[in-house]
Structure 1
Amino acid sequence: MLDMSDDALEVVQRSFTMQMRVESWLGGELLSDDVPVADGSEERDSSLAVPERVTLTVPVRDRGVSWDPTIDPRHPLAAYGQQLRISYGVEVGGDFEWITRGWFLITESSADGDTVNVQAQGLLTLVDEAKFAAAFQPSGTLASTVRSLVEPALTVEIDGTLTDRSIPVGMEWDDDRLGALNEVLNAWPAVGHVTEDGLLLIEPLTDAGDPVLSVTDGLGGTVVRWQSTTSRDGAFNVVVAQGESAAGVQVQGVAYDYDSNNPYWFGGDFNPLPVPYTYSSPLLTTVAQCRAAAEATLQRLRRTSSRKLTITMVPHPGLMIGDVISVTGGGLTSAPCVIEVLSLPYSPDEMTLTVRVL
């Protein structure tokens, strides 16, 4: 969860006064410190390659200023590299406490009558759209390869608990830079996300942690519902990670899903036989690396198969995908859940979460 004072945390669990602050930057230069926002929302979905989406509605004219982005390539709302830093203000004791939600790259903006519609995405968009112009042959270590793939578009920060290792020689990627980054992270194993300060943080994959918030069905207008869709498509109960040793011998590691909270768990009623998901990477050169990658892949893929709840509640500007919360409702009593999808309005309205039961 984003940093908030105790007073602000108390305020956002009931009705409160909010305000948005949107800054526009281009190449490190502040173009505007007060983009007027009439309406908008922020969507985050952990299943997407670029998880963050923002939409803004801005008046064409405000306080004598034209917000039509077509008048100048350096206009604060043009889509030529302009980035938005968005903060959510919560009134506490007559003043506003500002919670920075993050940095977002403007991908499209257009004037329509009296309004300007702005679309923005997370900063991983810069990596996603930067395909390789020629074959990329990594060298060095996992950490140095991540930096080569991402910087200078994003500054990389690597958690000190991760163990770096050398990249096997002879590897090559032809096109997809973001796909190459994800392959490195899967093999490490690690996960990356863009922080509210615009840094790409690489850290171990985990669902552990104390709940940052308790949510109760019916309290303060909160509604908790089970998602209704169930399917066997793409289901599995075993992950097999394969690689190749320096001697050219195939190596592999296997991880079984023994978590009975997952309806597809191995040994349960889903299927008494192994139903594998196979993952292969030349970055895996030992059995130990394959086993670690299999365990991490299993943990990551559980997100698509675990039971999920939809929560509608008063907006909480400190919540982010990946946060663990405690949920009471739908037959659950203080069950830990992790946020997979969130929709945060930028005007007085309800917030929606999709959470996965741990």
Structure 2
Amino acid sequence: MLEMSDEALAVVQRSFDMDVRAESWLGEELLTDAVPISDGSEDRDRSLAVPERITLTVPRRDRGFDWDPGADPAHPLAAFGQQLRIDYGVNLGTHWEWINRGWFVITSSEAEGDTVSVELQGLLTLIDEAKLIAPFQPSSTDTLTSTVRALVEPALTCSFDGALVDRAASSSMQWDSDRMEALGEVASAWAADYRVTEDATLLWELLTDDGDPVLSLTDGVGGTVVRWQAATTRDGAYNAVVSQGEDAVGNQIQGVAYDTDPDSPFMYGGNFNPLPVPYTESSPLLTTVAQCRAAAASTMRRLRRQNARRLGVTMVPHPGLMTGDIVTVTGQGLTNQPCVIETLSLPYSPDEMSLTIRVLA
């Protein structure tokens, strides 16, 4: 969860006055610290390559300024590299507390009538659109850390959690065009996850759903509504992962992880299928059996994100919540059940917030 004072945390548990402000930057130049926002919303979905999408409605004229960017490449709302830093404000009575929601790239702006519609995406857009001009291959001295830096910097500055153990990257690895595909393969082999933080850093950390709950949600309390999401499918459901690699002398190696969670509907040996239903992956970045096993366990956790039981929640907006946060849920037959936020939609006007949360074992 984003940093908030205890006073603000108490206020957002009920109805409150809110506001949104935005700064526009072009490189190191502050173009304006006061983009007027009349409406908008922020959507985040951890399953997407670029998880963040924002839409803003801005008055065409405000305080004597024309907010239609037209063809001006230096306009605060133009889509020529401009980035917005967005803060969500909570009225505490004596003052406003501003919660930084992060930095976002303007992808389009269009004037219609008296308003300008602005579309933004997360900073991973810079990596997703920057295809490799020539095949990328780590050198014999590269590590996973230096490989990641070479793929994304200077577009984004990388930070690595101390729990991640760096190791050599295989020089037999090669990516032809897609930087995001390369990052995903490194993340899988490293049993890691990455995200853009609110201060615009690409943070790499161990893939885990562990953590202390940041909020308790109770169905029917404070306007909160919790409902099961009914859709189920066998598509993309696996009860085993096989991760294959190659050791230093060229022998094929592998590690296997099984879904052994008794609360999982896909548990290996259970009713889903008593035989293995494997997902197989292979990477030259895996050079030991231990690495293969860690990668298999990591991939199993990612697959469970896609197929686990989910709940839909509508509630009073909480500007501190982020995808990946752990919450507890009481209702729909659950009592203080740990869940993780997979998607969220935060309105930038007085309205309900919606979440999709995944039930943890």
* TM-score normalised according to structure 2 size: 0.98
Match of 1:271 in 2: 273
Detail structure 1 runs of 4+ shifted over 4 Å in the superposition: none
Residue 135 of structure 1: how far off its partner (Å): 1.1
Aligned partner of 1:232 in structure 2 is: 234
Match of 2:297 in 1: 295
C-alpha distance after superposition, 1:313-334 (max 9, x if no partner): 0000000000000001111111
**Residue deviations 1:20-40 (CA, integer Å, cap 9, x gap):** 011100011110101000100
Aligned match of 1:33: 33
Distance 1:47 1:79 in 2: 25
Give the letter aligned to residue 292 of structure 1. Answer: A
Give CA deviations for 1:291-339 in whole Å, capped at 9, x if unaligned. Answer: 0000011111100110000000000000000000000111111100000
Q: Note if 1:313 corresponds to 2:292.
A: no
Q: Does 1:64 align with 2:64?
A: yes
The equivalent position to 1:170 in structure 2, one of 169, 172, 188, is 172
Matched, 1:130 2:130: yes
Q: Distance in 2 between matches of 1:205 and 1:188?
A: 9
The Cα shift of 1:259 comes to 1.1
Give the C-alpha shift of residue 173 in structure 1: 1.0
> Residues 227-262 of structure 1, C-alpha deviation per residue, up to 9 Å, x if partnerless?
010111111100110111121111000001111222
Whether the 8 Å contact between 2:238 and 2:303 is mirrored in structure 1 is no
Q: Distance in 2 between matches of 1:183 and 1:213?
A: 33
User: C-alpha separation between the residues in 1 aligned to 2:210 and 2:190?
Assistant: 19
Aligned to 1:117: 117
Aligned equivalents of 2:74 and 2:267: distance in 1?
54
AA matched with 2:181: G
Structure 1, unaligned stretches of length 5 or more?
none
Aligned to 1:343: 345
Counterpart of 1:215 (choices 199, 217, 240) is 217
Deviations, residues 111-166 of structure 1 (Å, cap 9, x unaligned) = 11111010000000000000001111112100000000010000000111110001
1:262/1:305 contact within 8 Å kept: no
List alignment gaps of at least 5 residues for structure 2.
none
The CA distance in 1 between the partners of 2:201 and 2:71, in whole Å, is 31
Once the two structures are TM-superposed, the CA of residue 71 in structure 1 deviates from its matched residue by 4.3
Counterpart contact for 2:158–2:201, Cα < 8 Å: yes
2:89 alignment partner AA: G
Matched position secondary structure for 2:222: helix
C-alpha distance in 1, partners of 2:106/2:200?
14
Counterpart residue type for residue 279 of structure 1: E
Q: Output the amino acid matched with 2:262.
A: S
* Count of matched residue positions in the alignment of Structure 1 and Structure 2: 358
Contact residue 314 and residue 349 of structure 1 kept, 8 A: yes
Superposed displacement of residue 17, structure 1: 0.5
Match of 1:23 in 2: 23
Q: Distance in 2 between matches of 1:94 and 1:111?
A: 37
From 123, 147, 150, the counterpart of 1:148:
150
**CA distance in structure 2 between the aligned counterparts of 1:195 and 1:118, rounded to whole angstroms:** 22
Task: List per-residue Cα deviations over 1:178-201 (Å, max 9, x = no partner).
Answer: 110111111112110000000000
For the 8 Å contact 2:57–2:115, the answer to whether it is kept is yes
What TM-score, normalized by structure 1, do the two folds share? 0.99
Aligned equivalent of 1:201: 203
Q: Partner amino acid for 2:311? A: L
Alignment match, 1:100: 100
User: Residue in 2 aligned with 1:283?
Assistant: 285
> Is this contact kept in 2: 1:337–1:355, CA < 8 A?
yes
Counterparts of 1:67 and 1:160, CA distance in 2? 44
Q: Which moved further from structure 2: 287-296 or 182-191?
A: 182-191
**Which residue identity does 1:106 align to in structure 2?**
I
Counterpart residue number, 2:73 = 73
Q: One-letter code of the match for 1:110? A: E
The residue type equivalent to 2:257 in the other structure is: A
Identity %: 69
Q: Quick check: 2:172–2:284 contact (8 Å CA) kept in 1?
A: no
CA positional deviation for 1:168: 1.3
